[in-house]
Structure 1
């Protein structure tokens, strides 16, 4: 485990668990709500507060897709679900490339040299994660480089878990939302109106969500009760989609800026689906910034 500190903040990083975050504390407040998901066996039961999603985000239907004239079949990686999910970066140990008191850079190289590797993802790539504590919060940078000899389609995202309690309120702007089937695949696109309009904020209490939003404006605000600092998340424009995974009975909400819709690689008819094709040697990435507003310092004495 790595630990970064700066200006009343403490960040723990888990290189062996997919470059995940353990906890981000701001003046003694736990900003993340770590979750242990037994269905994700390669997280080995570790409770994680956030983790990178790459080289694709969310689910690929039945693990099947075609690209460049070839057909591919990925191996399911979540127990009980036939659709591989969240790429394979979270399944592996990452290497520490750089470390200071407040900044760490980690790398992961995927080389599909055998059947198991090709079942995770058929193309070679290098991923770089940068975690940096600055005076105003946590800055997360994600970059992927095509280290293969052919073009490859990619998607990126970040999957942080936050507290969702009675009184929690989520605010963000988006154009539309995808309704999903029982396995989390998109089936119907609707305008963000009524219950799907979060532009003025909506309460999360009792709200179960697992939906992708398109036309995401790059800014979310999560207001919390009980003195927990209000959280804002700001994402670069490449993250034009947002997944909200709210499980109030478990006390958490995942707010995930991502570059594509769910199963984007199999939806060529949908404009703005978010598949990015990298030529050999080409890179793609962006930054997400997390700010804790009006964090209360513990009382002295």
Structure 2
């Protein structure tokens, strides 16, 4: 049976007041709500994915400048999927069909094979697992190298958070990062800069305001359990969402959606956990050298909360 949705099969997960929808196209997370309140600014079943919403970014998140990099002495060239800036963006799997491997009422596991191809002659199997736990949604992306040589590897995901405000301007952001990555006009990191004393310091909660963000943050501060937690709260303080970054998630990109088409512009704020920053295939910053037979694990998740008085 052929799906009528442009994103393929819609897989609905439920647990108590929680509901999530995962799609076949790219293994993407389409939506997540708790108690009927949307946590994600996602997309509907009859919409195409715009702005990377919910997509899994493998084998690199963000951009590779010029789509060119060297690996083991070989010059490799990727398709330029951001042609206006001459970059390769967000990996190779977000427009592929992922297969359901296991499915339960509150959990789904999808998988896909990344075959050797021009620009990325490496052989990976990737799976993504979404689980509704008592505390929220947990996501794990696991890649295994099926090839005979080490492969360059990075991973990220692209959820947009909302707390129900018309624009992200009114939402209150808390971001436990000590550094931001300064980029050039093509989006390539040029330097790391401490956030202290700059408009990019969100370690103390404050409204996003009119600030435009398409910024990668590093040196994440973690709690006793090893998690870095980004919080987006309603201006009233009544409710919000914590996005936690766990194993393998060393960087986070925050994007206020200023370049999106209306009506999506600044409607939600993308908080993107990443294993490495932009251009890691060339800079090697945070890059994983995935050895033959080895696996890389990447974990993040969402916890919606309500302030009870």
**TMscore range, shorter length:** 0.7 to 0.9
Aligned partner of 1:178 in structure 2 is: 181
TM-score (norm 1): 0.87
Is the CA contact 1:207–1:247 (under 8 Å) kept in the aligned structure 2?
no
Kept after mapping to 2: 8 A contact 1:29/1:228: no
| Distance (whole Å) between structure 2 residues aligned to residue 250 and residue 233 of structure 1 | 19
In the TM superposition, residue 294 of structure 1 has moved relative to its aligned partner by: 1.4
RMSD: 2.1
Match 1:111 to one of 112, 115, 121: 115
Distance 1:89 1:231, change over 3 A: same
How many matched pairs?
Answer: 279
The answer for the alignment partner of 1:143 in structure 2 is: 142
Give the Å deviation of 1:57. Answer: 1.2
Corresponding residue of 1:41: none
Deviation per CA, 1:39-78, whole angstroms, max 9, x where unpaired? Answer: xxxxx83357412111111100000000112110000123
Q: 2:245 — aligned with what?
A: 235
Compared CA separation, residues 260 and 147, structure 1 to 2 (3 A): same
Question: Which consecutive residues of structure 1, in runs of 5 or more, have no partner in the other structure?
Answer: 37-43, 297-301
- Is 1:288–2:296 an aligned residue pair? no
Q: Is the 8 A contact 1:141 1:288 kept in 2?
A: yes
Q: 1:10 to 1:165 in 2, by over 3 A?
A: same
Contact map agreement 2:247 2:297 (CA 8 A) in 1? no
2:125 counterpart residue number:
126
Which residue in the other structure is 1:221 paired with? 231
Is contact 1:170–1:220 with CA below 8 Å preserved after alignment? yes
Q: TM-score, normalised by structure 2?
A: 0.84
Runs of 4+ in 1 over 6 A off after TM superposition: none
Structure 2 unmatched runs, 5+? 1-9, 222-227, 259-264
Partner of 2:89: helix, strand, or coil? coil
CA distance in 1: counterparts of 2:91 and 2:235, whole angstroms? 34
In the alignment, is residue 211 of structure 1 matched against residue 215 of structure 2? yes
Candidates 147, 160, 165, aligned match of 2:168: 165
**1:295 deviation in Å?**
7.8
Hey, what does 2:23 align to over in structure 1? 14
Name the residue aligned to 1:154: 153
* 1:229 Cα offset (Å): 3.0
